[in-house]
Amino acid sequence: MKQLMIVVIGICLFSVGTTYEEAFAEESYGWNFKPAKNNETPTTEEQYLEWLDKYDGYFLGNANEKELYVTFDSGYENGTMPDLLDTLKEKQVPAAFFVTGHYLESEPELIKRMANEGHIVANHSWSHPHFPDLSDELIIQELKKVEDHYYALTGNPMHYVRPPRGTFNERTLDVSKKYGYHHIFWSFAYVDWNTDDQKGKAYAYEKIMDRVHPGAILLLHSVSTDNRDALGEVIDQLKAEGYTFKSLDELTGKHSASPIISGQTSEPQFGLQPFVTWINP
């Protein structure tokens, strides 16, 4: 009887979703894109474009319009977020913050401030794992734990996910889509997350202005003091050049956009250059 029970349990484990052995054997991909010169629109792998279309993914808005989408990855707080939020509020710019479980647990008031001021708070997983290494069930657990904590803080749902570390495969995209998420990648990023190697306001300003392009989804890390110090001037200059800052809800057109920084607060083409692969720490 004991042996029979073990066999039955084993069958159940291997018949529900994807097993660890199957997941570990799968190929993994890191998001990449080829930066373009002269503020032209970058592109990415043809396979990635097919998957984005199939699994509700975006890395770019309308490349024919001077529109921009500001997004931040926020794994932890080091004192920069209040200033970033102050700047976004002053400049009337909406943003999306992809947060982890650590941020939700350690900074509930900042999370509520993001939501109250009209920003999107999105899912970056609970523990920032490598999704291709996880079973379907564990991926859903990672997503659900984040959205449950966010709902408890704000009463709001989540609609967007950015795979942690920028790593994925077709199965992980499929799992997240079926669970109700749109995938948000990016068409601009630079190495801004190393807090021990910040290069100053002028460096961040030049990096952003050099590669910004129509339809850009900008990936910035909120721990960067360079980003914090440069953000106001970046926004002012881009507006002067005719750019409009939009919400991800306007990009997808599938959810009602939040009031954009209302000021009210309340409580609860491939060339010779190589692709650049960005793996978020």
Provide the annotated active-site residues.
73, 221
C-alpha–C-alpha distance, residues 155 and 136, integer Å:
26
C-alpha–C-alpha distance, residues 95 and 68, integer Å:
10
Instruction: Provide the 10 A C-beta neighbour count for residue 5.
Output: 9
DSSP code at position 40: P
C-alpha–C-alpha distance, residues 69 and 244, integer Å:
9
Q: Which two tokens stand for residue 67?
A: 């529109």
Name the amino acid, one letter, at 214.
Answer: P
C-alpha–C-alpha distance, residues 99 and 146, integer Å:
8
Q: Which two tokens stand for residue 15?
A: 């018949």
Residue appearing with tokens 């001021």: 117
Q: Convert 36-68 to b/e letters by CB count within 10 Å (16 or more is b).
A: beeeebbbbeeebeebbeebbbbbbbebeebbb
Query: Which residues, listed in sequence order, are joined to residue 160 by a DSSP beta bridge?
Result: 182
